[in-house]
Structure 1
């Protein structure tokens, strides 16, 4: 029994019930008043706004997304009106729907109070989020397309003819560029960001302490001399606890808000009277009914 009382979902149900019971008696049981009608004029309005912003017509998937967004706004708007959130407040539907979102966020905050065990379980389930990428320390020279008609061939020739010279001498054989010849302990994702392309992935299985290549980046063709590599590592739970707590709270808030929306929209009937493609109509009806 004690374990049941500690269940977050039970808290969610009880708190949600407490919030909505205050206005439950005001709900009209007449199904027609709970009907949501989307007609051609509504679709035309959505498309017009989209075209003004993006200078093109929406795709079928984008139109379906617009309709779903409008449906969610309408459901939240009507529920907000039932709770008299519009009293002395002259705001548009979007603002009222946002107020409903704020309430569901508050419910989520009250429900989700994870303990150490909850956070560790979340950490283990989503460990790939916190994996630190590989790190590299290496020298590099680059041959650009601006300076060479065939930089790949040039890189191969330099590699074949200069295997016995020092690193300092080797680094003088490439083109001058606005980044260092030597990178120390740089993460793979940062390396890709600085040089462009997927240069870090090309270095994954390469040997240490010898010139290898050619390897392509956003600047051109590289020869690299890797001195040190650290494989991807997962930080400990203690190191990432604050980040894990933040991510947990965010995910649980999204989940709780979606559960509340799904529960609310059950009391509404959707009538699609617009002249829509059958595929779009089926997508909307399926999404609203799920």
Structure 2
């Protein structure tokens, strides 16, 4: 089955930001295939066709991409959205727990990218949009592993974009701020909690809940993804929502010491 519409593949599309992105791309004129670990209950909803996909599995990624290519003949846009958050002090997470987070947030992106790039290079066009975060360019106390994964995606994407541009492919970043998705409820909790961090961890948990509740609507991220997917001359980075744009500007123009003090103040950290 072929379509004259651009073919978009969106990971982690069953809820939250991914669902908003998938629906937004449908409205923007794309044929959208959304993925999730278990999508049988979704089938086709609001114009989005769903596939089961586990981004931590080489076999699952290869099978899903092959199915899209068999059905549609091409992939014009890949949105790497699937991810997990974490909370707690860095010392409270075992190496195994951090590795599991990176397997989704970083290596999942690598798996998906490696799977679609041969097809995009062959057709001499395509865009890969990676969902990063404002914590991909700033500190996130008590979310260190998550921030590290997003910092990794920033470096990976910017470097890869230079490698594939001559083949007609662009790799772009969307950087949301706090988004009202309830992600904090599904964050990985420390698997080796320590009493020394308990008090400040509780403060951080409260601040995260408040920030998410007051966060941008996921539609803001969808709009940024659509811009990245359709701009004739795309930018490397797209902030999503007014807060993210403000933070990005402050990170660039505020002196390092002043920015450091503000991070500690906002996170209610002593010293």
TM range (shorter): under 0.3
Give the TM-score normalised by the residue count of structure 2: 0.20
TM-score, normalised by the number of residues in structure 1: 0.19
Give the number of the structure with larger relative contact order, counting CA–CA contacts within 8 Å between residues 6 or more apart.
1
